[in-house]
Amino acid sequence: MDCENCGERKAKITLTEIENNEMRTLNLCSTCATLKGVSAGGGSAPMADLLAHLGGSAGDTLFDEAGEACEYCGTGAGDFRKSGRLGCPQCYAHFHRQLRALLRRVHGSSQHMGKVYVSTAPDADPEQVRLSTLRRRLERAVEIEDFESAADLRDAIHALTEVS
Amino acid sequence: MTDGPAAAPPIGTHGLDWLDDEGPDGDIVVSSRVRLARNLQGYSFSAHATGEEREALLEKARAATEAAGVLQEADFWEISRLDRVDRLLLLERRLVSKELIGKPDAGPRRGAGLALSRARTLGMMVNEEDHLRLQTLRGGFQLAAAWRDLDQLDEEMGARLPYAFHQEFGFLTSCPTNVGTGLRASVFIHLPGLVLTRQIRKVLEGMGQLGVTYRGLYGEGSRIVGNLFQISNQTTLGKTEEDLIDQLERLVGRVIGYEKQARAVLLREAPNVLEDKVWRAYGILCHARSLPFEEMMNLLSGVRLGISLKLLKSPRVDVISRMMIHAQTAHLARAAGRRLDEADADAFRASYVRRALA
């Protein structure tokens, strides 16, 4: 059956309407059904949409591509603006100021009010976590023969182990 | 009896026990779901991590699962070791996301996993967008009970795995829309009355202003089929978990009230039209020889409404919910024991539905 609204596409949805206590049924294609009111649901990527809206004015100043990338995972402001995803938990510390502003717009607040987490899990010591992250990144840098990064990472590991 | 190379347990009827409990308001609310997004310190988020890192994380999650009391009787699957149909079975049961099972041509990411308790529909996706997605599903309208189950799982996992947590921002997530509590609660709700009386848009728009969002059958961006809507909280930060659950519960309670009013109006103003619509839907389902999925869902909507309004004496509501799961393409293919093209699937679906209603 063809769509009773556009007559072009195949009808897939039966829409029943009541107007002035009279019920009528329309066989519609999905496009016309959407236009008639039963919409197809929320956006597919709310974060990317939001960042796009922020782009130009607030977005540019908030997540300035010229700024430094996250020292742990290498995610830069530009990556975040493109994907709407952060690279690692440390990104929240790295982009702290910008994220606080963004979260206030998205959630109406930047302060967590829910469960408080105190880690009792093994290897939760932040120094240890940082160390193991750096060691993993060092291994990777050596693997891909990025010796410049490897040297920096080695220094960072030395600095940490000397302190502790 | 999986035909894949996996030594993992067969999918069987896993994750369907929520269907045994129709739950409160089960004729309107199909199911209630809560999930928590959690990530571990010291690892990049899954999309950013290397294959080795994701596999290391999968092993940690597996070990924690085995030690956790609530998941002790759980099965654990590496998604990459499941065959295509098994992966789709999990998706059709809404136990995994599209992101976890990957695109049909590319397959899942390395390290993608799923843990699922045997006794209850309580589980955990590993290496989805976030390292862990803890989740639970219950029949009917029972968000608070679902949250209690999930909270317990969260406590147990958090004691064994070092969650990434920030004093100001809470539980850290790959996407800032999930940060804070990491909690997304949703109900899967059947609203034919509001659709038929054309009030649905007003209700949905009203919800939008109250921090609540809606989507179709398969989550973000999917279409509305069979007058079924997923309603969930939009924000995750700045409120306690209990407040988020409570607010959604109260709002859904109001939507249920509006739906009942709309049904009462239909029964009063157009009883014959309504009754005809219900019986026609039932008649087609009982006799059709070919049923595309969307058509079936729309007809099932009519039958569910008929049962709820006592215009139909049988089947029971849970039979309808079961059909919504088992008449999906991968479930039909598994029952048929072969690959089904679209025409095959439509014919097979019609025959399945006739038997289920007989």
3-state secondary structure of B231: strand
Distance CA B163, CA B131 (A): 10
| pTM recorded for the entire structure | 0.81
Interface test with chain A among B132, B217, B223, by most A beta carbons within 10 Å: B223
Interface test with chain A among B34, B36, B48, B199, by most A beta carbons within 10 Å: B48
Q: What is the pLDDT of residue B107?
A: 84
CA angle A30/A84/A107 to nearest 5° reads: 90
How do residues A93-125 score in pLDDT, each as one tens digit?
999 999 999 999 889 899 999 999 987 665 555
DSSP H helical ranges for B39-142: 51-67, 84-92, 98-101
3-state secondary structure of B52: helix
Does any CB of chain A come closer than 8 Å to the CB of residue B209? no
If residue B182 lies in a helix (H) or strand (E), which one and from where to where?
Answer: none
Contact A38 B200 (CB under 8 A): yes
Distance CA B178, CA B237 (A): 8
B205 contacts in A (CB within 8 Å)? none
How do residues A31-47 score in pLDDT, each as one tens digit?
666 555 443 333 334 55
- Which token pair is B327? 């008449």
* Summary mean pLDDT of chain A: 73
Instruction: Pick A44's closest partner by Cβ from B220, B237, B273.
Output: B220
Interface test with chain B among A1, A10, A16, by most B beta carbons within 10 Å: A16
Query: Which residues are CB-contacts of B14 (< 8 A; sequence separation ≥ 6)?
Result: B75, B93, B95, B116, B118
Does any CB of chain A come closer than 8 Å to the CB of residue B53? yes
DSSP H helical ranges for B172-309: 192-196, 200-208, 241-269, 271-287, 293-308
How do residues B167-202 score in pLDDT, each as one tens digit?
899 999 999 999 999 999 999 999 999 999 999 988
User: Is residue B25 pLDDT above 90, yes or no?
Assistant: yes
Instruction: Pick A132's closest partner by Cβ from B42, B166, B213.
Output: B42
Exposed e or buried b per residue across A56-68, where buried means at least 16 C-beta atoms within 10 angstroms of its C-beta: eeebeebbeeeee
Distance of CA B196 to the CA centre of its chain: 25
